[in-house]
Amino acid sequence: MGCPMHVLAASSALRALRAIRYRGMEAWLPELEDERPPVNLTLRANIRIISPQSPPLNLSYSHPADETLADVNTDFLGAIANKDIETIRLGSLGPFNKAYPLELAVFKLGRRLERKTVRANLLRLDLPASALIRIDPSLWVTCPELTVMLLAKRLSAIELAQVIMELCGSYSLYPDPTAQGEPPRYNLPPVMSLASLATFAQTARVRGNKTTLQTACQLACEYSASPMETNVALLLSAPPELGGYGFPKPELNAPLIPPEGERQHLSQQGYSLDLFWQSCLADVECESTEHHLDPLTANVQDSSFAAWRTQSVLKEESDRRRFRELQYLGIQVIPVTSYDLRSEERTRSIARALARRFQACNARAIDEIVTRIDDPAAALARTSLLETLIPRRPEACTPTR
């Protein structure tokens, strides 16, 4: 084609994917349906949840699965990274600067020129044709799987796992990383699965830190519905050497359908369990105090305070009733607030409660986990992990009331 074009890559691609999801333009990306069968509590002695293997994604359905970028009728060799892009069209992605540069992909070494605010990523033309998403004739973005693989060069395993769980989950962070106080957007379809990432990684040869990618995939869980669920899951299941408690990975937002004979005693026909361990029927429930229980962090105006307070009280009552009903069904509920995650000491109380539940159910030998909960060396690594998961903010250092 010969016309100048730009391919957003790595961190800029992530910002673009977030903007696409955040702005409600999901039509650009395929939807992954959650078709997991619900937990059947009639099988109390042997409850089982099955996560289906999601089919590999092909973001460019017009091309055969084995077709590469070199086979597509587009001059990717003309992709440029050393000239100014019309950043006005990328306004929703936020500003680009030295700390947060515009990252572009190039397919020819001679075009790999860089500026203070522009960073180039050299890619190969033998990548699958589905590796790029076309936004318009001159602007493309790397697909979620390729974006994750490129980010593995710069992020830690924990940070990369956070990104993977966001793209495999139902929420999106605000696209501008410099923005403060912008809430995530929820109830979105996932744009990637762990299976599609593994499939893409097997077929795409991308230079990068394969060890980081493999570790992040082992840490990540699918179906996360919020950043808090992501952080709690990583904290509880990451290995001790990374600062985690080393519990088995939970099932996130597991669907639960009560037995028909029990439904007359319940207010709901079904439940969704935030972090569920089927081996001991334990459910860690995430309560975000920052945006739901505090009118200041929820940005509630004085004129609407009464309505907010009524809604907050109703939600709290609903949550308490829901917890009682889950307890009635044999599920041990362990509530966690965002304030709990601000202190390594408070997270230990969460781990102790979960460990006691595992011990009571004889779910598995967790003697090593129990020993490490109060180990001083592990506490240091855990504090470092918490700082990675939840960077400290001055206004978040005091509990909400």
Query: Does residue 94 lie in a domain region?
Result: no
Q: Which two tokens stand for residue 144?
A: 């979620």
Q: Could you report the per-residue pLDDT of 84-100, keeping only the tens digit for each?
A: 677 767 766 778 888 88
Nearest to 175 by CA among 141, 146, 200, 152: 141
Specify the number of domains making up the chain.
Answer: 1
CA-CA-CA-CA torsion sign (7, 56, 39, 331): negative
Under 8 Å CB-to-CB from 54, ≥6 apart: which residues? 32, 193, 194, 195, 196
pLDDT reported for residue 49: 27
Pairing label, strands 139-142, 132-136 = antiparallel
Burial of 398 (0-12, 13-18, 19+ CB in 10 A): exposed
> What averages of pLDDT result for each successive group of 10 residues across the chain (401 residues)?
78 90 55 51 29 32 70 86 71 79 89 78 91 84 94 96 96 88 89 92 84 96 96 97 96 90 81 94 83 48 64 74 89 94 94 94 80 88 94 44 32
What residues make up the domain containing 295? 243-401
pLDDT reported for residue 392: 59
Nearest to 331 by CA among 287, 283, 285: 283
Model confidence, pTM: 0.85
3-state class of 74 per DSSP?
A: coil
Cα angle, residue 77 at apex, residues 74 and 79 outer, rounded to 5°: 85
Amino acid at 224: S
- Please give the full DSSP string across 207-249, using - where no structure is assigned: -S-HHHHHHHHHH--S---SHHHHHHHHHHHS-GGGT---PPP
**Which letter does DSSP use for residue 27 in this model?**
G
Query: Does residue 210 lie in a domain region?
Result: no
Separation CA 164–CA 145 (nearest Å): 9
Query: Does residue 314 lie in a domain region?
Result: yes
Query: Does residue 276 lie in a domain region?
Result: yes
3-state class of 167 per DSSP?
A: helix
CA-CA-CA-CA torsion sign (134, 108, 15, 11): positive
Query: Does residue 117 lie in a domain region?
Result: no
Query: Does residue 180 lie in a domain region?
Result: no
Separation CA 327–CA 70 (nearest Å): 57
pLDDT reported for residue 201: 92
- Please give the full DSSP string across 299-345, using - where no structure is assigned: T--GGGHHHHHHHHHHHHHHHHHHHHHHHHTT-EEEEEETTGGG-HH
pLDDT reported for residue 116: 78
Side-chain-side CA neighbours of 349 within 13 Å: the count stands at 11
292 in the Ramachandran plot: left (φ > 0), alpha (ψ -120 to 50) or beta? alpha
Query: What does the buried/exposed string (b/e) look like for 19-52 if buried means 16 or more CB atoms within 10 Å of the residue's CB?
Result: bbbbeeeeeebeebeeebeebebeeeeebebebe
Separation CA 187–CA 169 (nearest Å): 9
Query: Does residue 107 lie in a domain region?
Result: no
Query: Does residue 257 lie in a domain region?
Result: yes
- Please give the full DSSP string across 280-298, using - where no structure is assigned: TTEEEEEE-HHHHT-TTTT
Separation CA 86–CA 81 (nearest Å): 12
